[in-house]
Amino acid sequence: MKNINDIYILGIESSCDETAASVVKNGRQILSNTVLSQVDIHKIYGGVVPEIASRNHVEAIDKVVRQALEEANLTLSDINAVAVTYGAGLVGALLVGVSYAKGLCQASGLPLIAVNHIEGHICANYLTYADLEPPYTCLLTSGGHTAIVNVLDYDRYDVVCSTVDDAVGEAFDKAARVLGLPYPGGPQIDKLENQGEASYKFHSVVISNGNFSYSGLKTAVINLVHTAEQKGEPINKADVAASFCHAAIDGLIERLAQVIAQSGAKTIAVAGGVGANGYLRKRMTEFEKQGIRVCLPALALCGDNAAMIASRGYYLYLKGEFADLSLNACPTLKLRGEKPSR
């Protein structure tokens, strides 16, 4: 039974290769979370093909939204607002969700809320930890973003450091590709990491100004594999995967430790697809020995989903931050407060 004081947000996400819709109550409780992945389609091409992604979103979006409402046992008349991802992401893919949400709001009279995908990833923590409130420090590790962010409030972020080139997820996918592993490569490297030894030594991804650089690590893996191929020497894929994984993650943990030591943060969290990585999660829990609370989003909420978008939408709803029908997709949208470093 719907309580009049409860706020129900319908979230819609289509920024990359997942068509997703979800209903979230009061920003924290997931009533439904439908994700239709296109991974099997894009696997054939070794990565996401933007136009194919857009076409598949168009076909799927209405069905996915209806399913999310049905699973939540609600109708549109129970919903308080529609929150949609408008960036960052693939422009054509984003436009499908944005246009659908605009049409839905126009037809139903519901308010429209524009959500930043990265801010959504951070909110996956609120869905996993009902009592978590800012301030805390968040390690942002996605396919397009890598940063350490002090989350000062629900709307205020202080980006302490970020990548100057590739994002960590992107590096995982590229390293996996050169190792001949199927797309998406991150989970494949994660599996192999367990079976290998981190016997190859790579340079740190932390650069002198305290930011991250992943292009050198990516090139080092490519060179290692190509040199071995040219010499006809076998490589142990699991060892390369483990070595890459440790180098990619250890730098993040090292910088996070420095940031915490300076700020005295008592709570830390992870956001983004690479947050599902087993080695990263293990290394994060080491901070608990220092009496720090470590928040790791549920595995299903690390990758793209619409529940995180609905959660973020709830906090914008409380602020009365609504969009109008001129809302457009913004493929390069930054986190509020993020300096352009790339």
Cα gap 318→160, rounded to integer Å: 27
* Pick from 266, 195, 208: nearest CA to 237: 195
- Least Å distance between CB 264 and Zn ion? 30
Q: Does 173 bind ligand KG4 (CB under 6 A)?
A: yes
Q: What are phi and psi of 157, to 5 degrees?
A: -125, 135
* Pick from 108, 59, 60: nearest CA to 81: 108
Among 277, 284, 310, 316, binds ligand KG4 (CB under 6 A): 277
Residue type, 51: E
Cα gap 210→204, rounded to integer Å: 11
What is the total count of residues that contact ligand KG4 (CB under 6 A)? 21
Q: Does 14 bind ligand KG4 (CB under 6 A)?
A: no
- Contacted entry of ligand KG4, Zn ion, none for residue 276, CB cut-off 5 to 8 Å set by kind: ligand KG4
Complex with ligand KG4: residue 27 or 169, whichever CB lies closer: 169
Complex with ligand KG4: residue 2 or 282, whichever CB lies closer: 282
- Least Å distance between CB 292 and ligand KG4? 23
Q: Does 276 bind ligand KG4 (CB under 6 A)?
A: yes
Residue range at the interface with ligand KG4 (CB under 6 A); choices 75-83, 127-135, 142-150, 330-338: 142-150
Instruction: Report CA Rg, the chain.
Output: 20
Complex with ligand KG4: residue 173 or 250, whichever CB lies closer: 173
Q: Does 304 bind ligand KG4 (CB under 6 A)?
A: yes
Complex with ligand KG4: residue 74 or 94, whichever CB lies closer: 94
116 bridge partner residues: 87
Cβ-proximal residues to 64 (8 Å cutoff; 6+ apart), any chain: 19, 20, 21, 34, 36
- Least Å distance between CB 142 and Zn ion? 5
Q: Does 272 bind ligand KG4 (CB under 6 A)?
A: yes
Write out the E strands in the chain. 8-13, 18-25, 29-37, 81-87, 112-116, 136-141, 146-151, 157-162, 267-271, 293-295
Residues that bind Zn ion (CB under 5 A): 142, 304
- Contacted entry of Zn ion, ligand KG4, none for residue 246, CB cut-off 5 to 8 Å set by kind: none
For residues 75-134, which are near ligand KG4 according to CB under 6 A?
117, 121
- Contacted entry of Zn ion, ligand KG4, none for residue 172, CB cut-off 5 to 8 Å set by kind: ligand KG4
Residue range at the interface with ligand KG4 (CB under 6 A); choices 35-43, 131-139, 180-188, 308-316: 180-188
- Contacted entry of Zn ion, ligand KG4, none for residue 186, CB cut-off 5 to 8 Å set by kind: ligand KG4
Count the Cβ atoms, other than its own, within 10 Å of residue 6. 12
Among 87, 185, 297, 313, binds ligand KG4 (CB under 6 A): 185
> What is the full DSSP assignment across 62-126?
HHHHHHHHHHTT--GGG--EEEEEEESS-HHHHHHHHHHHHHHHHHH---EEEEEHHHHHHHHHH
Among 87, 97, 134, 169, binds ligand KG4 (CB under 6 A): 169
Q: Does 297 bind ligand KG4 (CB under 6 A)?
A: no
Cα gap 341→45, rounded to integer Å: 30
Count the Cβ atoms, other than its own, within 10 Å of residue 292. 18
Where along the sequence are the contacts to ligand KG4 (CB under 6 A)? 117, 121, 142-144, 169-170, 172-173, 184-187, 190, 272-274, 276-277, 303-304
